[in-house]
Structure 1
Amino acid sequence: MKVITIIQPWATLIALGEKQFETRSWATKHRGELAIHAGKKIDKEACREPEIRKALERHGYTEDNLPTGAVVAICKLSECLKSLDTWTDGYELEGRKLIYSPEYEFGDFTPGRFAWELADVNQLPEPIPAKGQQGLWNWEGVGA
């Protein structure tokens, strides 16, 4: 199974269904099943941003209890869309898809970057320890 390592709190926000797009500087042709791996790093400053803090707290998380070094969710990578433009209320992606708050606060939608659209996200009952890697990598864990 393909996996992407994402620093916290972003990985948990995806697992919770709060974040529907992962933004990257690079596109991928991969579509289908994708595991979300929480890297060992926690962006504590991001955890203190009001929208992010509220989203985490709704589910009982703070910067102090986020899982790290583990696969936290399985989802489907349904689309990879280029960010085209910014406007008063958000961003425009290819296919005239518009991104509004709070989603645009959960990623870097600067024009020229890519938004990986995630669907059918299932948070694992318990995080599964795994060593992360850069880029897309293969994992032999659950369902692989």
Structure 2
Amino acid sequence: MKAITIIQPWATLIALGEKRFETRSWATKHRGPLAIHAGKKIDKDACEEPKIKAALARHGYTADNLPTGAVVAVSDLKECFKIRRDVLGGVIALESDTRKTHFSTLDKELAFGWFGSGRSAWETTNVQLLPEPIPAKGQQGLWNWEGVQL
């Protein structure tokens, strides 16, 4: 199964279903099963941002108890969108070869990613939080994980 390493708290936000899009500077052609790996780094400042802090707190998490160095969830990577931001209109457009979607700059999803024009938004679906994090060494880019299969 392909896997992606994501800095905390964003890996846990995906695992909990609070965050649907993982934003990256690069696109991928991969579609299908994707393991969500929590890297060893925790952005403690991000954990104090009100929307992030509230989302984590709903599930009993703080910057002090986030899992690191482990796969925390499995999901499907449904689509990879190109981000187009219309600042004046207050709309973020996500476009792919097969779909287009928009959301308001007021959407909570924007607090959980970097939606700059030209970046990519990876849409995760069917996210399944693992009962216990599975220790694994992460890597940059997409990498192969030999753990649980969907």
For normalisation by structure 2, the TM-score amounts to 0.92
Q: Secondary structure at the match of 2:54?
A: helix
Provide runs of 4+ in structure 1 moved above 2 Å.
86-90
Shift of 1:9: 0.1
Structure 1 residues 62 and 90, CA, compared in 2 at 3 Å: closer, same or farther? farther
1:7-18 matches, cutoff 5 A: 7-18=7-18
Aligned match for 1:137, one of 143, 146, 149: 143
Write the distance in 2 (CA, Å) between the matches of 1:26 and 1:86.
20
CA distance in 2, matches of 1:114, 1:82: 5
Question: Equivalent residues in 2 for 1:52-131 (5 A)?
Answer: 52-87=52-87, 88-94=89-95, 95-100=99-104, 101-131=107-137
Q: Residues 96 and 143 (structure 1 numbering): CA distance in 2 closer, same or farther, change over 3 Å?
A: closer
* Offset, 1:116: 0.2
Q: Is 2:27 the counterpart of 1:34?
A: no
* Alpha-carbon distance in 1 for matches of 2:141, 2:17: 22
Q: Distance in 2 between matches of 1:102 and 1:16?
A: 15
**Counterpart Cα distance in 2 of 1:42 and 1:140:** 24
Equivalenced residue count is 144
Give 1:90 shift. 4.2
Contact 1:91/1:104 (<8 A) preserved:
no
Partner AA of 1:61 in structure 2: Y
Q: Contact 1:39 / 1:70 at 8 angstroms: preserved in 2? A: yes
Residue pair 1:86, 1:110 contacting (<8 A) in 2 also:
no
Q: Secondary structure at the match of 2:11?
A: helix
Shift, 1:142, TM fit:
1.1
Deviates further, 7-16 or 97-106:
97-106
